[in-house]
Amino acid sequence: MRLFSLCLLFFIFPLLLPAKPINNLVPNPGFEKRSKCPKALGQIDRVDDWNSPNGGTPDYFNECFQKNYQSVSVPRNYFGIQGAWDGKAYAGIYAGEQEMEYLQVQLTEPLEAGEKYCLRFFASPPSWEGEQFPALKAMLGVGALQESDWGRLEGKGDVLDLDYELDGQIGSWVILSATIMAKGGEDHLIIGYFGPTDGKGYTYIDGVGLYPYNSPGSCAWEYFSGDPEEDTHNFVPNPGFELKYACPESREQLEMAVGWRVMENTPDFFHTCGTGTASVPNNPLGFQEPYEGSGYGGFWCLLISRRDYREFISMKLREPLKKGEVYCLSMKVSLSDITTHALGDLQMLPARRPERDASTLPSDDPRLVFLTDSTAGILDDREGWTNISALFVANGDEKYLTIGNFRKNDDPKLVRDRPDKPRKPGQLIFQSSNCYYYVDDVSLSLRESPISECPVTQVPQVVADPDLPNWSFQTGVPQVDTAAREEEPVADWKAGDTLVLEHFLFAFDAADLAPEATPILDTLGAYLGRHPELRVAITGHTDDQGSEAYNLRLSQERAGSVMAYLEALGIAEKRIETEGKGESEPLVANDSEENRTRNRRVEIRFLEE
């Protein structure tokens, strides 16, 4: 599998991308067409359409050269090991203190004044030494350039700053892109080092494209498909796995699906144009038509034969989430035919930064959002697609979602579910326990959005913010500062536990909930929504101010206020019972205002359903 990391800084919308993008104004974008096979460095003149605009000697690499693998072959060559982004070839440019190399190509037609265009290409540095990668830019101009020296090209045309994001993984192809408003007449494109450089550096270049803005397959991050409502409201790029850079040749090529990131191991991409193990609807893991469109993803939730193996997929959202807003996350899942186990839920981690070690996180990590189907229970449908969803409250500025199974092998939520139909020809055989889901139609929208598929009775989940000062993360495992969180319980309750809510739920001589009470009750409601096996008994208590009869009634009203709040969050009335104890069971003596405040409390006992 090609080493690749999708690091997007731009927005991607769902549409069907042809195997080869159309309307590309760059001829020979992948450096595949050549007059001769390269035999040494510096032979860009053997590539059709491309040349050097100055005295530099860009390099040409191609699989056709087999005599010396340390020279200009693919994937091994003088500068390192790098597979082509697509096809069998790519180019390379060097940056030194006084020597700069550039790639120049004449467009198939001049740009039209006032029209928008999209530029994108793929680049990969063999090493980060010299940090030349940020200096990469592009320039559009009228007419070809031909300078005699190797110096930097400055003041020769409009230099374009490019969007990109690096993850520090050597050997990865990174996407660089820009949106252009043409002045008119630009007919040449130059790629090279226009920014400041430090020392020496080198970069491979492949897959160069310049497209009219509304051309299918062009500005995938900005182009609206035929469903404006979906494009406007969905924060997830390429939600149906339709948009692709190339047709997958094997299923372990999720990086071919635009916008989707491989966070751990080798999650899969299936498409109707795919070949080998990536085909649709028949593939080695089962038979499955897409929920809609032509593609879908897939990942292992459990594979014991490979030591607790897990796979996780991720994407960068089209825009960061806003603090305090309630979002609906939903997606369609289908259990593969070869699976021996099924799950009652999948989990999602919203984060401000990519999560590199998802499998190390505990299943009760308070940052996780749990996606379930309230009607189906176990997600064991192999024939069709099941919608799973969750509402959650954003902490603010989350940019990445990571989806998978964070539960460990001994978790009771992993349910054995052997298939009752015979294996089909070509399907894999696994003797040990395993669990695999296809996934399609991933959607993240505001709760009130018209595309939201979360039930109206669903409880918003309140998740921890890892950037708070009282949270620290070591090797991915959250450590709780109990002193700082004395009044904010961690949601990990079981039957038999008692949660004491004191100090601030109610004002003196009142049954109305104080505003400070709602975050904890939101957490409680979210936890009960994820754990239908639990019910609660709510008991209200007061201090000794007032008559016993009055305090008994007040304690009952306070318990009723908590019950009403939980019911408003979607917790069924049959799962809640209430009782008032008045002043009869104080926690401490009612001999000071501080102690009386502690006695004005509600206790919540967790019971089995």
Q: Please write down the HEC assignment for all residues of 58-76.
A: CEEEECCCCCCCCCCCCCE
**What does the alpha-carbon distance between residue 392 and residue 235 come to, in Å, rounded to a whole number?**
14
Q: Please determine, for residue 119, whether its predicted confidence score (pLDDT) is greater than 60.
A: yes
Q: How far is CA 330 from the centre of its chain?
A: 13
SS3 225: coil
Residue that the structure tokens 């999708």 belong to: 6
- Return the pLDDT at 245: 67
Q: Cα–Cα distance between 162 and 175 in angstroms, integer?
A: 9
As a dihedral over the C-alpha atoms of residue 79, residue 81, residue 85, residue 87, rounded to 10 degrees, the angle is 100
pLDDT at residue 195 greater than cutoff 90: no
| Angle, helices 548-568/518-530, rounded to nearest 10 degrees | 60
Model pLDDT, residue 229: 42
pLDDT band, very low/low/confident/very high, at 53 (cuts 50, 70, 90): very high
Range with the largest mean pLDDT of 47-61, 414-428, 518-532: 47-61
Whose structure tokens read 């809510």? 501
What does the alpha-carbon distance between residue 86 and residue 345 come to, in Å, rounded to a whole number? 37
Q: Is it the case that residue 82 has pLDDT exceeding 50?
A: yes
Residue 346 confidence class, pLDDT cut points 50, 70, 90:
very high
CB contact at 8 A, 63 and 141: no
Mean of per-residue pLDDT scores for the chain: 79
Beta bridge pairs of residue 296: 270
- pLDDT for 319 equals 86
Report the alpha-carbon distance of residue 270 to residue 295 in Å, rounded: 6
pLDDT at 334: 95
**Is pLDDT above 80 for 221?**
no
pLDDT value of position 526: 76
Cβ atoms of 338 and 436 within 8 Å: the answer is yes
Query: How far is 161 from 184, CA to CA, in rounded Å?
Result: 19
- Looking at per-residue pLDDT, the higher value among 432 and 462 belongs to 462
- Tokens 């032979």, located at residue: 43
The confidence score (pLDDT) of residue 478 equals: 36
Closest listed residue to residue 464, CA positions, set 514, 392, 528: 392
- Residues 436, 414: Cα–Cα separation, whole Å: 12
Q: Which residue has the tokens 């299936």?
A: 270
Residue-wise pLDDT for 480-502, tens only, equals 333 333 333 445 788 888 888 76
DSSP state of 257: B
**pLDDT band, very low/low/confident/very high, at 336 (cuts 50, 70, 90):** very high
Percent of the chain surpassing pLDDT 70: 78
**pLDDT band (50, 70, 90) for residue 1:** very low
CA dihedral for 75, 80, 85, 90, sign (positive or negative): negative
At residue 12 the predicted structure's pLDDT band, cuts being 50, 70 and 90, is very low
At 441 the pLDDT is 95
Residue spans of alpha helices (H) in 202-273:
228-233
Q: First CA to last CA across the chain, in angstroms?
A: 48
Report how far residue 396's alpha carbon sits from residue 48's, in angstroms, rounded to the nearest whole number.
49
- Does the pLDDT at position 363 exceed 50? yes
Q: What is the pLDDT of residue 87?
A: 82
Residue 396, classified by CB atoms within 10 Å of its CB into exposed (0-12), middle (13-18) or buried (19+), is middle
pLDDT tier at 182 (50, 70, 90 boundaries)? very high
Q: Which pLDDT band holds residue 468 (cuts at 50, 70, 90)? A: low
pLDDT band at 445 (very low <50, low <70, confident <90, very high): very high
Question: What digits encode the pLDDT tens for the residues 541-564?
Answer: 888 888 888 888 888 888 888 888
Mean pLDDT of 563-586: 86
- Tell me the C-alpha distance between 290 and 281, whole Å: 8
Q: What are phi and psi of 334, to 5 degrees?
A: -140, 130
Place of tokens 């999948």: 346
Measured CA to CA, the distance from residue 197 to residue 59 in angstroms comes to: 19
Distances (CA, A) of 47 to 39, 59, 332, 501: 12, 10, 46, 73
Span 194-217, average pLDDT: 80
Return the pLDDT at 27.
Answer: 96
pLDDT value of residue 564: 82
- CA-wise closest residue to 313 among 254, 392, 357: 254
Nearest to 60 by CA among 104, 81, 90: 90
pLDDT at 328 over 50: yes
Amino acid 71: pLDDT: 83
* pLDDT confidence band for 426 (50 / 70 / 90): low
Minimum mean pLDDT range among 235-239, 268-272, 303-307, 360-364: 303-307
Reported confidence tier of residue 475, pLDDT bands at 50, 70, 90: very low
529 pLDDT above the threshold of 50 = yes
Instruction: Examine the pLDDT at 410 and tell me if it is beyond 70.
Output: yes
Local confidence band at 362 (pLDDT 50, 70, 90 cut-offs): confident
123-132, 417-426, 479-488: segment of lowest average pLDDT: 479-488
